Amino acid sequence: MNTPGSGTPRLAADTGERGLIARIRHRLPPAPPELVVGPGDDAAVVRPDRGALQILTTDALVEGVHFDLRFSSPADVGHKALAVNLSDIAAMGGVPRFALLSLMLPASCTLDAVDQLLDGLFALAGRSRVTVAGGNIARSPGPLVVDMAVTGAAKVRKVLTRSGGRAGDRLYVSGRIGAAKAGLEWLRSRTSAEALQLTADAGLDECVAHHRRPEPRSRLGALLGRARAASACMDLSDGLADAVRQMAEASGTGAKIESAGLPIHPAAAAWFREHDADPVDRALEGGDDYELLFAVPARFKGRFRAVTRLVHGLSLTHIGELTSERSIRLVRDGVDVELPGGFVHF
Amino acid sequence: MNTPGSGTPRLAADTGERGLIARIRHRLPPAPPELVVGPGDDAAVVRPDRGALQILTTDALVEGVHFDLRFSSPADVGHKALAVNLSDIAAMGGVPRFALLSLMLPASCTLDAVDQLLDGLFALAGRSRVTVAGGNIARSPGPLVVDMAVTGAAKVRKVLTRSGGRAGDRLYVSGRIGAAKAGLEWLRSRTSAEALQLTADAGLDECVAHHRRPEPRSRLGALLGRARAASACMDLSDGLADAVRQMAEASGTGAKIESAGLPIHPAAAAWFREHDADPVDRALEGGDDYELLFAVPARFKGRFRAVTRLVHGLSLTHIGELTSERSIRLVRDGVDVELPGGFVHF
């Protein structure tokens, strides 16, 4: 499609929607038998897991709102578009199954950029055993939009909602928080040429990677659901403070968090401190940390211990409790204060 | 939310993502028992139809590409965003079940416009017995985008693909073609103030309505699938010529269409003629007609007759045949010519 001397091929000039769909179909891995009709017909047809409930979620990445192509490569965007949806499936205790990809492409978007985006997306889909079953391609007169819908499966009574928590349940969070926020702040503090280079600091590099390519906690979510090791679960897409507040509200409880125990990424904490910001406040308001917050009742202790042994390498930190008193508290240096707020989209 | 004297409330200023989600949730009709977890959690959870295959589709409407707010109201856009997806489910012979709504809203979008969009969408969802199970709201720095993913159900061996046709199968098309195209051309020929008024001509009004609010052929598609009355089926979203070409290609056949029998909307035919265009050519290239093209083998005649009795009011017109000769022909005034092409998106 790239003719000599024509420069970088652009979509509008060099290929049609059909050509692009054919290009994507050629790159799809062999379909599993559950995909009865794959891309290329009016719709996809799949065989749902027998006896299971189905989880449905959708999440979009919009250029200029959720990503900046000076700071993230097309492959990063492709990865993240799927990752944020997988995070939702994990938060429900499910196993991801099928994905639909809805691309809205500006005329300035190159074929090469689309290929890279698909590289990032298919690499994560392959690792996560998610089948891209179909999708849609449209022109965008504005930003690049990567919108996805993903299905997952979970057994009846194994689904994890936000509302199942009870007073006394211990709250845990996976991984480390604040990293994605620090990574994005670092990128914004650079010129775009510098931003695409690695920093000298391995810790900050890790933060940048958390922003660009969050790792959905698919294995943890599926294990917590399958083992019924948690009473409630949700992801941290809008920050830990917001997640705690929403889980408590949905469960009809309050919550108390210990600031000393929060698993703040050390390089993020250092970055916040260097910029005269309080690491606890910043990590709590966070956003873009695709970790899981979950509640473990005392009677699930054995099951939970079994899960912790199966997620080697991923830290699960006890950060507080759900409480019968309906307020959301943060205990800081022995003083009990109101928890600061979460991320507001508009 | 609208305070006196504040003028038309805009999203950015007067409400957050949460407020908007709460607003949508309040407007949802009571959920059926198959919706186990509805909007408000990380994802929706549904109970799929036992023993059925699941159909998955996604289609987006992008402002400035698929609609123009001078020509369509927000309610029209809400209706059409769901209709185009229902058309895909119908084309597979399925019954629609659940929908996910992904909205990308420019800052200039008013709460009132969002409410109207939901009016149009929920009215069609109610009539079509589709449950809006969840969704996502994001800000758009560019156009208004309404992206939807819809699931449907069909029994094993009752799914209608494009590829099931055989030489000798009779081709049928539902309803009338060319209307949406003529309606849009009429709208574009007016100033925007005029465009929102009805025309004096009832026929052109019907064409405009076809463009603004296409009626998905949900009942026909579901009946053709359930009765196995067709060997292949697809919708006309990219025009009849394109649909015939794609069905023949997927089925490994050719096709022959009779121009005299094409069910061109009479007001559309008159409009094309008035503008020195050939009605057959324009209606064939069409686009935006959400009718169904389907193939009926001779041995399915009895089943097909039973279906025709159940879709009262909807005409089903015999337009030609699939052929063993692999070319796509149009018979016109006794002369056999190559079929003109379909709609190209980029």
Residues B176-180, mean pLDDT to the nearest whole number = 96
With a cut of 80, say whether residue B87 has pLDDT above it.
yes
**Considering chain B, what percentage of its residues have pLDDT values greater than 90?**
79
3-state secondary structure of B84: helix
Please give the C-alpha separations between residue A236 and each of A90, A292, B100, B278, B344, in angstroms, as whole numbers: 12, 6, 21, 58, 42
B10 forms bridges with which residues in the sheet?
B110
Fold of B11-155: 60s Ribosomal Protein L30; Chain: A; (3.30.1330)
**Considering chain A, what percentage of its residues have pLDDT values greater than 90?**
79
Within 8 A of A141 by CB-CB distance, chain B residues are 62-65, 142-143
- The answer to whether A44 contacts chain B (CB < 8 Å) is yes
Q: What distance in Å separates residue A106's CA from the closest CA in chain B?
A: 10
**DSSP state at residue A137:** E
How high is the pLDDT of residue B177? 97
Stretch(es) of chain A classified as CATH 3.30.1330.10: 11-155
Selected residue with higher pLDDT from B3 and A283? A283
3-state secondary structure of B105: strand
Residues A294-313, mean pLDDT to the nearest whole number = 96
With a cut of 90, say whether residue A197 has pLDDT above it.
no
- The answer to whether A225 contacts chain B (CB < 8 Å) is no
- The answer to whether A246 contacts chain B (CB < 8 Å) is no
Residues B111-129, mean pLDDT to the nearest whole number = 96
Choose, out of B17, B53, B58, the residue to mutate when testing the contact with A (most A CBs < 10 Å). Answer: B58
Residues B231-248, mean pLDDT to the nearest whole number = 95
Residues B63-81, mean pLDDT to the nearest whole number = 96
Choose, out of A25, A50, A58, the residue to mutate when testing the contact with B (most B CBs < 10 Å). Answer: A58
With a cut of 60, say whether residue A198 has pLDDT above it.
yes
- CB-based contact A131:A34 (threshold 8 Å): yes
Residues B272-282, mean pLDDT to the nearest whole number = 94
3-state secondary structure of B124: helix
Amino acid at A18: R
pLDDT band at A246 (very low <50, low <70, confident <90, very high): very high
Rounded to whole angstroms, the Cα distance separating A312 from A59 reads 29
How high is the pLDDT of residue B196? 61
Cβ–Cβ below 8 Å for A62 and B94 = no
For residue B185, the surrounding DSSP H or E stretch is helix B179-188
With a cut of 50, say whether residue B5 has pLDDT above it.
no
Structure tokens at A202: 């391995």
- CB-based contact B25:A69 (threshold 8 Å): no
pTM recorded for the entire structure:
0.93
Handedness of CA B17, B19, B22, B27 (dihedral sign): negative
How high is the pLDDT of residue A17? 75
The mean predicted confidence, pLDDT, of chain A is 91
Closest partner residue to B100 (CB to CB) among A53, A58, A346 is A58
Q: What distance in Å separates residue A22's CA from the closest CA in chain B?
A: 13
Cβ–Cβ below 8 Å for A344 and B152 = no
Residue B202 CB neighbours (<10 A): 9
Closest partner residue to B141 (CB to CB) among A58, A134, A142 is A142
Please give the C-alpha separations between residue A40 and each of A21, A44, A45, A203, B75, in angstroms, as whole numbers: 8, 8, 11, 44, 30
Rounded to whole angstroms, the Cα distance separating A125 from A285 reads 29
* Residue A146 backbone phi and psi in degrees, to 5: -120, 105
With a cut of 70, say whether residue A344 has pLDDT above it.
no
pLDDT band at B338 (very low <50, low <70, confident <90, very high): confident
Cβ–Cβ below 8 Å for B134 and A345 = no
Q: What is the pLDDT of residues A15-53, one digit of tens each?
A: 677 788 888 888 888 889 999 999 989 999 999 999 999
Handedness of CA A138, A130, A214, A206 (dihedral sign): negative
Question: Which of B271, B304, B73 has its CA nearest to residue B183?
Answer: B271
Residues B43-67, mean pLDDT to the nearest whole number = 96
Ranking A43-57, A127-141, B13-27, B74-88 by mean pLDDT, the lowest is: B13-27
How high is the pLDDT of residue B258? 95
Cβ–Cβ below 8 Å for B43 and A89 = yes
With a cut of 70, say whether residue B345 has pLDDT above it.
no
How high is the pLDDT of residue A195? 59
Residues A58-75, mean pLDDT to the nearest whole number = 96
Binding-face residues of B in 63-82 toward A, CB within 8 A: 63-66
Binding-face residues of B in 292-331 toward A, CB within 8 A: none
How high is the pLDDT of residue B19? 81
Closest partner residue to B138 (CB to CB) among A41, A60, A102 is A60
What is the arrangement of strands in the sheet containing A232-235, beginning at the earlier edge strand? A232-235, A292-296, A170-174, A316-323, A254-258, A328-332, A335-338
Stretch(es) of chain A classified as CATH 3.90.650.10: 170-338
How high is the pLDDT of residue B24? 87
With a cut of 50, say whether residue B4 has pLDDT above it.
no
- CB-based contact A169:A232 (threshold 8 Å): yes
Binding-face residues of B in 112-151 toward A, CB within 8 A: 133-143, 145, 147, 149, 151
Ranking A154-163, A237-246, A336-345, B20-29 by mean pLDDT, the lowest is: A336-345
How high is the pLDDT of residue A343? 45
Q: CATH 3.90.950.20: does it fit domain A170-338?
A: no
How high is the pLDDT of residue A1? 30
How high is the pLDDT of residue A10? 57
Handedness of CA B16, B18, B19, B20 (dihedral sign): positive
Choose, out of B24, B41, B148, B246, the residue to mutate when testing the contact with A (most A CBs < 10 Å). Answer: B41
